[in-house]
Amino acid sequence: MNYLLADIILIIHFFIAFFVFLGLFFPIPYKLNWNFAKNFYLRFVHLLLITIILFETLIGFICPLTIFENILRGNTDTRTFISKWLQNLLFWDFSIVYFILIYFICFFWTVFIWFYYPPKKINM
């Protein structure tokens, strides 16, 4: 059961990372006049996530989702099929300096597109 919960956390983690990555391309659907790319709340969540990621990396904090997954797995090397492939996509073995640089670039790009392609509050 713990491995199933760990896999669910890993899948959620993967989709959050995928959302953050795709959000870097908001200018494309924005220029195509697609409403989701102008949605204030979606864009705010994206900006918030990349800010949290950068801050966590700068202070040397491990993502809580990674911590929970490791606790559920008991830090063993036994991995399920899902975890094996998603972990290979999500976790790279590079220097922390590389990640700080990439996250800074992503953060500043996100701030830039926030102002250059501003979101709009949509009445619901």
Q: Where are the domains of the chain?
A: 2-116
Tokens of 5: 């919960």
Residue showing tokens 């809580």:
64
**Residue 63 DSSP code:** P
Contact call for residues 52 and 22 (beta carbons, < 8 A):
no
pLDDT tens-digit series, residues 29-88? 999 999 999 999 999 999 999 999 999 888 888 888 888 888 888 865 545 555 666 666
- Model's pTM, two decimal places? 0.78
